[in-house]
């Protein structure tokens, strides 16, 4: 097995060509979801909250929702879309008649999921900035975080998608994994302040918590050692899952 | 040899899909692999272009060890898959562009190749509508066009004409002949014996993952069956009355009421059938590859009494 970047980019371009055709349909639900949360929870519920984590509630919420948008962008891509390409469209069967190899397919797909995370997170960041909720230029530090969030959720989703026997199981992924993550990963309230001391480690296991914490620090313009741990978590978990996905991808494509 | 397989086997779980198969495809020929459903044709082709890894055996393509030169080999061959794979929302041109990039083609060469294959397969009139609106015939032409984007030296086609109407099949045959005339080697599978007989220089008949026999279609027919075939509807009792011990059919094939006799000279049997009942349906024809196929892959063919 070997990776060829030009071939991986050809895979990426296939997805981009398809996306150009359907982006209006795709982007609306993905993108508006965090907008609605910002309006409903941020403005609605936020009106009854003086401050959270030392800032006005909207300012607390906004950077976290940027990460959520990135998470959603990557997740849709590596769940339904990958599954359809793999089992119904047989897109990879066609690719593997050319010099493209399974490693290139994996790299191209991960790259594309990261791109979508960047598109969704980036658009949402513009909304947040336009609403005056992002400190500029310091808040721009959130941007390099978007591909990292994309990478993390691309690898998590891929490992799931490559192993499930049928498409219905994605509802488990969304309702039993992504939704609880969204609700409990420091997005709406600081989880650590609500957990008993001996359960604190649970918070650290949640993947979304780390990008959210980093994003909030980026908006606050503060740097602290815990950010190194957050970065390490994201990179290490992504790397391990990527190796796992690589094995599964090879098995699925070359039986 | 363009393709060389030596004792290649593929085992899926407990199922032996390909069983110690030897295959030699010489350059510049159209080579057909024939065999019943599940015989292992698709699996064999997949091993030739390297997506399915053989459980045992060695494969060389273009004289290169496939395991070591996978990308190099794939860049020189084209594959028409058994099932079409397209991006249905995009047009043929857009599909060709995406596929050309898999071969790392760039502008302006990419557009040049697209024009080339669109002209070659006469797709021009439908080149700008979404693929999902194309008829089966146009879709199949597009599938072949995709596999020609890299100007392959070896074209691998898995049932290229299944499900197509006679006119489209004729058109595709002429394209395939043209490619071969320009020096490409074609390796195809088909369930149509007339197609194999008219298109292929050599065929290998496979059954249960093994090559049962191999050769030029005409030679295979001559080697296995007498040249004339007579088909008659009759019961087994009527049959022995017809033959009457004096006519010696080399072999016969019975499917339900219909019996086919293979004879070096059909005339005496035809006379006898006419004499017995001049309205009895009767077909006299040359023996063809289908007869050989049925004989070799086992549809209860017995030697005549
Ligand atoms: N990925 C796989 N996993 C398990 N079994 C498989 C797999 N691919 C093929 N087989 C089995 O291997 C055998 C040969 O299949 P193959 O598709 O090569 O046949 P074929 O000659 O192309 O048939 P057809 O004429 O129907 O296309 C079949 O029994 C099939 O069920
Ligand atoms: Mg097949």
Nearest-Cα residue of chain A relative to residue B156: A97
CB spacing of B74 vs A13 below 8 angstroms:
no
According to DSSP, residue B64 is labeled E
Nearest to B101 among A4, A10, A90 (CB): A10
Contacts of B107 (CB under 8 A, 6+ apart): none
- Coil, helix or strand for B132? helix
pLDDT top residue among B300 and A251: A251
A130 in contact with chain B, both atoms CB, cutoff 8 A:
no
How many contacts (CB atoms, under 8 Å) link A and B? 75
| ipTM, two decimals | 0.90
DSSP secondary structure string, A23-85?
A: HHHHHHHHHHHHHHHIIIIIIIGGGG-S-BTTB-HHHHHHHHHHHHHHHHHHHHIIIIIHHII
Confidence of residue B277 (pLDDT cuts 50, 70, 90): confident
pLDDT in tens, A10-61: 999 999 999 988 887 777 776 677 788 888 988 888 889 888 888 889 999 9
Which region among A137-146, B146-155, B219-228, B234-243 has the lowest average model confidence (pLDDT)? B234-243
pLDDT by residue (tens digit) across B85-97? 999 999 999 999 9
Please give the number of the atom of ligand 1 that sits closest to the Cα of B10.
12
Minimum-distance ligand to the CA of B158?
2
pLDDT of residue B106: 96
| A77 within 8 A of A108, measured Cβ to Cβ | no
Residue B300 has pLDDT above 60, yes or no: no
State the fold for domain B3-216.
Rossmann fold (3.40.50)
Which position has the higher pLDDT, B207 or A35? B207
Ligand nearest the Cα of residue A255 is 1
Peptide bond into B67 cis (omega under 30): no
Contact A94 B94 (CB under 8 A): no
Query: What is the band of B200 on the pLDDT scale with cuts at 50, 70, 90?
Result: very high
Kindly state the DSSP code that residue A221 receives in the 8-state scheme.
Answer: T
For B258, the enclosing helix (H) or strand (E) is strand B258-263
So what's the pLDDT on residue A224?
87
Query: By the 8 A CB rule, do A120 and A70 touch?
Result: yes
pLDDT of residue B207: 93
Show residues of chain A in contact with B51, CB under 8 Å. Answer: 93, 96-97, 253-254
Q: Give dist(CA B166, CA B112) in Å, integer.
A: 31
CA of B154 to the centre of ligand 2 (A): 19
Lining ligand 1 with CB less than 6 A are A 255; B 12, 15, 17, 35, 37-43, 82
Provide, as residue numbers in chain A, all residues whose Cβ is less than 8 Å from the Cβ of B97. 17
pLDDT at residue B261 tops 70: yes
Residue in chain A closest to B97 (alpha carbons) equals: A14
A89: chain B residues, CB-CB within 8 Å: 85, 87
CA distance B102 to A91: 12
Predicted confidence (pLDDT) per residue in A147-188, tens digit: 999 999 999 999 999 999 999 999 999 999 999 999 999 888
Nearest CA to ligand 1 atom 30: B38
Mean of the pLDDT values across residues A111-124?
A: 94
Cβ of A95 under 8 Å from any chain B Cβ?
Answer: yes
Collect all residues with Cβ–Cβ distance below 8 Å to A148 and sequence separation of at least 6. A211, A231, A234, A235, A238
Residue-level pLDDT at B302: 44
Residue extents of the structural domains in chain B: 3-216, 222-303
Of B51, B87, B146, the CB nearest to A96: B51
Q: Whose CA is closest to atom 18 on ligand 1? A: B40
pLDDT digit string, tens, across residues B23-37: 999 999 999 999 999
**What spatial distance separates the first Cα and last Cα of chain B, rounded to whole Å?**
44
Q: Is the pLDDT of residue B303 over 50?
A: no
Output the CA B208–ligand 1 centroid distance in Å: 10
pTM of the model as a whole:
0.91
Smallest Cα–Cα separation from B3: which of B52, B87, B61, B51? B61
Q: Measured between alpha carbons, how far is residue B224 from residues B24, B108, B213 in Å? A: 21, 53, 10
Q: Do B71 and A101 touch (CB under 8 A)?
A: yes
- Closest ligand to C-alpha of residue B14 is 1
Question: Is the pLDDT reported for residue A231 higher than 80?
Answer: yes
Atom of ligand 1 nearest to the CA of B82: 27
DSSP code per residue over B176-237 = HHHHHHTT-EEEEEES-HHHHHHH-SEEEEEETTEEEEEE-HHHHHHHHS-SEEEEEE--HH
Q: Which atom of ligand 1 is nearest to the CA of A255?
A: 1
- Decide if B192 touches A, using CB distance below 8 A: no
The full set of domain ranges for chain A reads 5-254
CA angle, A236 as apex, A235 and A241 as ends, to 5°? 100
| pLDDT at position A201 | 86
Alpha-carbon gap, residue A79 to B22, rounded angstroms: 41
B304, pLDDT greater than 50: no
How far apart (Å, rounded) are the C-alpha atoms in residues A224 and A120? 27
> Any idea which architecture B222-303 has in CATH?
2-Layer Sandwich (3.30)
Residue B170: which of B187, B149, B192, B186 has the closest Cα? B192
Q: In this complex, is the C-beta atom of A4 within 8 Å of any C-beta atom belonging to chain B? A: yes
d(CA B99, ligand 1 centre) in Å: 26
Give the percent of chain A with pLDDT over 90. Answer: 67
CA distance A64 to A52: 13
Residues in contact with B134: Cβ distance below 8 Å, sequence separation at least 6, in sequence order: B92, B126, B142
Yes or no, beta carbons of A17 and B97 under 8 Å apart: yes
- Ligand 1, atom 1: closest residue by C-alpha: A255
Query: Which H or E run contains A147?
Result: helix A145-163
Cβ separation of B12 and A17 shorter than 8 Å?
no
Q: Is a pLDDT exceeding 60 seen at residue B301?
A: no
Lowest mean pLDDT across A92-101, A217-226, B78-87? A217-226
* Band (B299; pLDDT cuts 50, 70, 90): low
Q: Return the residue whose CA atom lies nearest to atom 22 of ligand 1.
A: B42
Task: For residue B125, report the distance from its CA to the centre of ligand 1, in Å.
Answer: 36
Query: Does residue B247 carry a pLDDT above 90?
Result: no
Give the Cα separation of A124 and A118 in Å (integer). Answer: 10
Q: Which of A236, A220, A247 is nearest to A55 (CA)?
A: A220
Contact partners, residue A10, CB within 8 Å, separation at least 6: A100, A104, A108, B101, B102, B104
């Amino acid at each position: 097995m070997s990776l060829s970047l030009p071939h991986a980019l050809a895979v990426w371009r296939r997805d981009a060509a398809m996306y150009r055709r359907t982006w209006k349909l795709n982007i609306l639900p993905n993108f508006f979801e965090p907008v609605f949360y910002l309006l409903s929870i941020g403005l609605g519920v936020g009106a009854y909250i003086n401050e959270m984590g030392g800032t006005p509630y909207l300012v607390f919420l906004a950077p976290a929702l940027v990460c959520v948008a990135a998470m959603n962008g990557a997740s849709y891509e590596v769940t339904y879309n990958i599954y359809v390409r793999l089992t119904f469209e047989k897109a990879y069967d066609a690719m593997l008649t050319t010099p493209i190899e399974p490693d290139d397919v994996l790299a191209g797909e991960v790259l594309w999921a990261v791109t979508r995370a960047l598109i969704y997170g980036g658009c949402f960041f513009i909304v947040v900035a336009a609403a005056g909720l992002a400190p500029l230029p310091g808040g721009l530090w959130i941007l390099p975080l978007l591909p990292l969030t994309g990478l993390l959720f691309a690898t998590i989703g891929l490992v799931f998608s490559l192993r499930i026997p049928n498409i219905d199981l994605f509802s488990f992924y969304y309702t039993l994994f992504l939704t609880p993550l969204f609700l409990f990963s420091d997005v709406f309230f600081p989880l650590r302040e609500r957990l008993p001391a001996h359960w604190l480690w649970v918070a650290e296991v949640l993947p979304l918590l780390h990008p959210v914490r980093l994003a909030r620090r980026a908006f606050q313009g503060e740097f602290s050692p815990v950010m190194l741990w957050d970065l390490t978590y994201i990179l290490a978990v992504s790397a391990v899952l990527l190796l796992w996905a690589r094995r599964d991808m090879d098995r699925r494509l070359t039986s | 040899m363009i393709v060389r397989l030596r004792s290649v086997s593929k085992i899926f779980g407990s199922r032996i899909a390909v069983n110690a198969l030897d295959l030699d495809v010489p350059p510049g020929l159209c080579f057909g692999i024939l065999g019943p459903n599940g015989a292992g044709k698709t699996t064999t082709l997949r091993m030739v272009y390297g997506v399915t890894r053989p459980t045992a055996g060695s494969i060389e393509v273009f004289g290169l060890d496939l395991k070591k030169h996978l990308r190099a080999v794939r860049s020189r061959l084209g594959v028409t898959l058994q099932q079409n794979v397209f991006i249905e929302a995009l047009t043929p041109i857009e599909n060709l562009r995406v596929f050309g990039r898999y071969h790392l083609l760039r502008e302006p060469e990419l557009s040049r190749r697209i024009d080339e294959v669109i002209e070659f397969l006469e797709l021009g009139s439908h080149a700008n509508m979404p693929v999902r609106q194309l008829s089966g015939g146009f879709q199949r032409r597009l599938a072949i066009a995709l596999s020609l984007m890299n100007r392959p030296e070896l074209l691998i086609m898995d049932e290229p004409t299944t499900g197509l109407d006679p006119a489209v099949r004729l058109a595709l045959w002429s394209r395939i002949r043209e490619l071969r005339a320009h020096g490409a080697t074609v390796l195809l599978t088909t369930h149509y014996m007339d197609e194999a007989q008219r298109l292929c220089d050599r065929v290998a008949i496979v059954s249960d993952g093994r090559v049962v026999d191999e050769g030029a279609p005409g030679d295979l027919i001559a080697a296995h069956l007498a040249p004339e075939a007579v088909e008659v509807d009759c019961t087994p009792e009527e049959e022995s009355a017809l033959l009457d011990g004096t006519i010696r059919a080399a072999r016969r094939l019975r499917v339900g009421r219909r019996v086919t006799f293979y004879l070096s000279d059909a005339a005496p049997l035809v006379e006898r059938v006419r004499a017995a009942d001049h309205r009895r349906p009767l077909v006299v024809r040359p023996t063809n590859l289908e007869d050989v196929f049925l004989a070799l892959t086992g549809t209860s063919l017995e030697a005549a009494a």
